[in-house]
């Protein structure tokens, strides 16, 4: 019996947190080949070794990738084209919450990482997504704190929360997503926006279980539904684990 070709998935920020757990759950399925996008080669190599030590049936490889560096974006695209000739799923997961620096430097870095980077990466990988034979899809990982409606609602728990760097950059990603949804949807590519919720991760000092953060495993399970087509009827909405957010 001929072997079935694996679905090629690129997950940015895959060396820890939600990205790492998503890679693990995909590899457990056995039908995916996961490209572990990581800004740090050292951390990415450690993540790859950890995943391989679990003897999961899927396959994986490290893909050095810094969303603020066009040279690494172009190099990553060339590597994917050379090694696989296509890309089936892109998960724009990498993000930064509160970068170092002055207010201007923090905003610049947050926007560059959380909005500009996913826009440039997706545009660069578009020709490879168009070569997918599995029905290409893009999943932009956003946050409910990027909802302008929730910020403006005095009854929302998000109303008084500050964090303008992260919130504004995620709102910008939401608009990037909306533009991709319209433009790439016309090309037959499904584009999703998903908020995994407050999760244990390295995103910020409060992303810990003692502060109420969910485990990465819990947050990724509904994200897997998006990747595997179980929420296709909701494409075009601002999805989270149990429903949708207002824009």
**Apex CA 120: angle with CA 133 and CA 167, to 5°?**
110
Where do we find the tokens 């990027």? 146
Q: Which domain holds residue 95?
A: 7-245
pTM of the model: 0.94
pLDDT of residue 204: 60
Beta strands across the sheet bearing 190-195: 59-64, 32-38, 7-11, 89-92, 137-141, 190-195, 238-240, 244-245
In the chain, what percentage of residues exceed pLDDT 70?
93
In a domain, 23, yes or no: yes
Would you say residue 2 lies in a domain? no
For residue 47, count other CB atoms closer than 10 A to its CB.
22
Q: Residue 215: count other Cβ atoms within 10 Å of its Cβ.
A: 12
CA distance linking residue 28 with residue 213, whole number of Å: 24
Radius of gyration of the chain (CA): 17
What is the band of 2 on the pLDDT scale with cuts at 50, 70, 90?
Answer: very low
Residues 6+ apart with CB under 8 A from 39: 13, 64, 65, 66, 67, 94
Alpha-carbon gap, residue 89 to 136, rounded angstroms: 6
Within 142-242, residue ranges assigned H as helices are: 148-152, 164-185, 216-227
Give the per-residue pLDDT at 198: 75
Residue 216 has pLDDT above 90, yes or no: no
233 is a domain residue: yes
pLDDT tens-digit series, residues 172-198: 999 999 999 999 999 999 999 999 987
Greater confidence (213 vs 108) lies with 108
1 located within any domain: no
H or E segment to which residue 28 belongs: helix 17-29
Residue 14 domain-assigned? yes
Give 191's strand partners. Answer: 138
Residue 162 lies in a domain: yes
pLDDT recorded at residue 210: 64
**Which residues are within 8 A (CB) of 175 and not within 5 positions of it... i.e. 6 or more apart?**
none
Asked whether residue 206 carries a pLDDT value surpassing 70, the answer given is no
- Please list, in sequence order, all residues whose beta carbon lies within 8 angstroms of the beta carbon of residue 219, skipping any fewer than 6 positions away: 18, 21, 196, 197, 199, 241
Confidence of residue 1 (pLDDT cuts 50, 70, 90): very low
- Residue 154 neighbours by CB under 8 Å, 6+ apart: none
pLDDT for 213 equals: 64
191: domain CATH number is 3.40.50.720
Q: Are strands 244-245 and 238-240 parallel, antiparallel or unpaired?
A: antiparallel
228 is a domain residue: yes
Q: Cα–Cα distance between 110 and 163 in angstroms, integer?
A: 11
User: Contact 128/89 with Cβ under 8 angstroms?
Assistant: no
Q: What is the DSSP letter of 172?
A: H
Quick one: DSSP state of residue 232? G
Q: Which residues are catalytic?
A: 166, 170
Provide the number of structural domains found in the chain.
1
């Amino acid at each position: 019996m001929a072997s079935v070709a694996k679905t090629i998935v690129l997950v940015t920020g895959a060396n820890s947190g939600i990205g790492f757990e998503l890679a693990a759950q995909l590899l457990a399925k056995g039908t995916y080949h996961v490209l572990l996008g990581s800004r740090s080669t050292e951390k990415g190599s450690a993540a790859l070794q950890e995943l391989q030590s679990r003897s999961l049936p899927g396959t994986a490889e490290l893909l050095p990738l810094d969303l603020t560096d066009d040279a690494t974006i172009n190099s990553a695209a060339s590597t994917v084209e050379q090694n696989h000739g296509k890309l089936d799923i892109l998960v724009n997961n990498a993000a930064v919450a509160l970068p170092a620096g002055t207010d201007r430097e923090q905003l610049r870095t947050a926007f560059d990482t959380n909005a500009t980077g996913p826009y440039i990466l997706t545009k660069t990988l578009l020709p490879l997504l168009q070569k997918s034979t599995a029905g290409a899809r893009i999943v932009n990982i956003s946050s409910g704190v990027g909802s302008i409606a929730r910020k403006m609602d005095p009854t929302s728990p998000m109303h008084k929360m500050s964090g303008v760097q992260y919130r504004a950059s995620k709102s910008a990603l939401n608009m990037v997503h909306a533009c991709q949804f319209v433009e790439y949807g016309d090309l037959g590519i499904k584009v999703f926006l998903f908020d995994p919720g407050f999760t244990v991760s390295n995103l910020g000092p409060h992303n810990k279980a003692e502060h109420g953060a969910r485990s990465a495993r819990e947050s990724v399970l509904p994200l897997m539904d998006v990747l595997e087509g179980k929420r296709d009827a909701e494409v075009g909405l601002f999805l989270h684990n149990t429903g949708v957010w207002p824009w």
